[in-house]
Amino acid sequence: MILFGIHCNSQVSAQGLWTRGKVNSENDLILVEIRNRDDCRGFEQDISVSLKLDWGIMLFNGSNKPSESFYAILDNETNQIYRTSSFKEFLIQVKLIPDSVTVREFEKCTVPFSHGVSQPNRDALMKTLSNKGCILESKLMYCNCCAETETFTF
């Protein structure tokens, strides 16, 4: 499946699904693999972006195509990733994240994946994390400006 030019390795359902993620040599979840164009100086040809923190989330808002929206929870401790097309189901799973942990949001530069997520949904997420004593850390952001191909691993 291709979402806004980004290849995805699985379909998304409203019920959601926990699946085993791909890991690197440090046993960190690999979230995206990028092959950069040859004409981009200063960029490595092949890169992978990994979580490097125990917990993460991703809000992929299909602004122009709501059917392509999905939400993900990234558990680096067990190398599991949860994906759903339902924000309601996403929040139910967020409540299962351990209390008082730091959670990192996964984004890209220029136009973030979460661009266009409604403020009520963003507020509901922040309230859920706050009620658990969790901290939403600054975003794990990567640049895809020189990407020839970009593939989510989940």
Q: Which two tokens stand for residue 68?
A: 């392509």
| pLDDT tens-digit readout, 61-83 | 876 666 678 999 999 999 999 99
- Give the sheet arrangement for strand 17-20, strand by strand: 17-20, 80-84, 70-75, 55-60, 102-108, 135-142
Closest Cα to residue 97, out of 80, 118, 113, 84? 80
Which alpha helices (DSSP H) does 59-152 contain, by range? 87-94, 119-131
Q: What is the mean pLDDT of residues 41-52?
A: 85
Q: Please state whether beta strands 102-108 and 55-60 pair in parallel, antiparallel, or not at all (unpaired).
A: parallel
Is the pLDDT assigned to residue 145 strictly greater than 90? no
| pLDDT tens-digit readout, 22-34 | 999 999 999 999 9
Q: Where are the domains of the chain?
A: 2-152
